C-alpha cells in the first residue's frame, strides 16, 4: 500500500469520526449544554442536533422531569430546647438548564444542604407540640422558602413533605408519662361527671316522685271531699225522702183511724187503751236508760191524760177534715 492510499484511509477515518461527532441526538424531556472552546455556545433540545467537530463540546446533559430528593434524618432543636430528628422528601425540577449548571456547582448536593438548613431554621421557631400539630403549615412554609432560594439556580421546588418527626428517647418517655397522666385525669373527670350526673338525676327523680306523690294525695283528698259531699247530699236526700214517706204514712194512718172511729163505735175504747199503754211504756223506757234522770209523775194525772186523748178522738171529725196531704216544708216546720 502506497503513501497516497494510506493518507486517503486516514482522511476518510478522520472525516467519518468528525461527521459522527457533529451529530447529537437528545431524548425527550432532556436538554444539553454545548461549549465552544471553553465558552457557552448553545443549548441542545430534544431531537437531532449538530455541533462543530473538535470545537463544540457537550458539557452538561440533564432531564427536565420532576425529581425527588430523599433528605436523611436531621437533628434539630426546637425553641423550647427539645432535640428532635426530622427527615423529609423534596420534589423539584430544572426550569433553566443554563442556570442549573453555571450558577451552582453540584446542584443536588446544594439542594440537600439548603433543605436541611431550612428545616433546622423552621423547627427552631416552633415548640415541640407545634411540630406535631402544624405539619402542613411547616410544609407550606418550607416550600415557599425553598422555592425562593432555588430560583437563582433555575430550579422549581414543587412539593416538600416532612415524613417523620421523632423526639429523643428521654423526651418520648416524658411524653408517655404525660399522656398517661392526662388519660388518668380525663378518666377521673369523666368518673366525677358521671357521678354528678347520676346524683343530679337521682335527686331530680326523687323530687319528681315527691311532686307526683303530693299531686296524687291532693287529688285523693279532693276526690274524698267530693265523695263525702255527694254522700252527705245523698244522705240528706234519703232523710228527706224518709221523712216525706213517714209523713205520708202518718197521714194515711190517721185517715184509717178516723174512718174506723166513724164506722166502729167500740174502736174508741180500744184506742184509749192503746194510748194509755204506750204512755206507760214510754215512762218505763225512759226510766230504764243508763243516763241519770228525775221523773215526776202523778198517778192521778193519768185519767186526765186519757180524758185529753179521748177529747182528741172525739174530735175525729176535725181530724178527718184536717188537710192530710201536707207538703214537706210544712212537716219540717
Whole-prediction pTM: 0.48
pLDDT in tens for each of the 333 residues of the chain? 555 555 445 444 544 455 556 778 888 889 898 888 888 888 888 888 888 887 888 888 888 899 999 988 888 888 888 888 888 999 999 999 889 889 888 888 999 999 999 988 888 888 888 888 888 888 898 899 998 989 999 999 999 998 888 887 777 777 778 778 888 888 889 888 888 888 888 888 888 888 998 899 899 889 988 888 998 999 888 888 888 888 888 777 777 777 776 776 666 666 666 666 666 676 676 667 666 555 555 555 555 655 655 565 555 444 444 443 434 344 334
Cβ atoms of 313 and 272 within 8 Å: the answer is yes
CA distance 19 to 291: 163
Copy the grid coordinates of residue 235.
244522705
CA distance 185 to 164: 29
Amino acid at each position: 500500500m502506497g503513501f497516497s492510499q494510506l493518507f486517503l484511509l486516514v482522511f476518510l477515518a478522520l472525516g467519518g469520526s468528525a461527521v459522527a461527532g457533529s451529530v447529537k441526538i437528545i431524548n425527550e424531556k432532556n436538554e444539553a449544554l454545548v461549549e465552544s472552546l471553553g465558552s457557552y455556545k448553545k443549548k441542545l433540545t430534544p431531537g437531532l442536533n449538530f455541533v462543530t467537530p473538535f470545537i463544540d463540546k457537550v458539557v452538561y446533559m440533564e432531564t427536565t422531569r420532576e425529581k425527588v430528593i430523599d433528605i436523611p434524618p436531621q437533628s434539630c432543636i426546637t425553641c423550647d430546647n427539645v432535640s428532635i430528628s426530622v427527615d423529609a422528601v423534596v420534589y423539584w425540577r430544572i426550569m433553566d438548564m443554563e442556570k442549573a449548571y453555571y450558577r451552582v456547582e453540584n446542584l443536588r448536593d446544594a439542594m440537600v444542604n439548603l433543605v436541611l438548613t431550612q428545616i433546622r431554621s423552621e423547627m427552631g421557631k416552633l415548640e415541640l407540640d407545634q411540630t406535631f400539630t402544624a405539619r402542613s403549615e411547616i410544609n407550606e412554609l418550607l416550600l415557599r422558602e425553598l422555592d425562593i432560594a432555588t430560583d437563582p439556580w433555575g430550579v422549581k421546588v414543587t412539593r416538600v413533605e416532612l415524613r417523620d418527626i421523632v423526639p429523643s428517647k428521654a423526651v418520648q418517655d416524658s411524653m408517655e408519662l404525660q399522656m398517661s397522666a392526662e388519660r388518668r385525669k380525663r378518666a377521673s373527670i369523666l368518673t366525677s361527671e358521671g357521678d354528678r350526673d347520676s346524683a343530679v338525676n337521682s335527686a331530680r327523680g326523687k323530687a319528681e316522685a315527691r311532686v307526683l306523690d303530693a299531686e296524687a294525695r291532693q287529688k285523693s283528698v279532693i276526690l274524698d271531699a267530693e265523695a263525702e259531699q255527694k254522700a252527705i247530699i245523698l244522705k240528706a236526700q234519703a232523710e228527706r225522702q224518709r221523712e216525706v214517706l213517714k209523713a205520708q204514712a202518718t197521714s194515711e194512718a190517721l185517715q184509717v183511724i178516723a174512718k174506723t172511729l166513724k164506722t166502729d163505735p167500740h174502736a174508741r175504747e180500744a184506742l184509749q187503751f192503746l194510748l194509755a199503754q204506750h204512755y206507760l211504756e214510754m215512762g218505763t223506757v225512759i226510766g230504764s236508760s243508763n243516763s241519770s234522770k228525775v221523773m215526776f209523775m202523778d198517778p192521778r194525772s193519768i185519767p186526765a191524760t186519757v180524758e185529753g186523748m179521748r177529747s182528741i178522738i172525739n174530735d175525729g171529725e176535725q181530724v178527718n177534715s184536717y188537710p192530710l196531704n201536707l207538703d214537706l216544708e210544712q212537716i219540717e216546720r
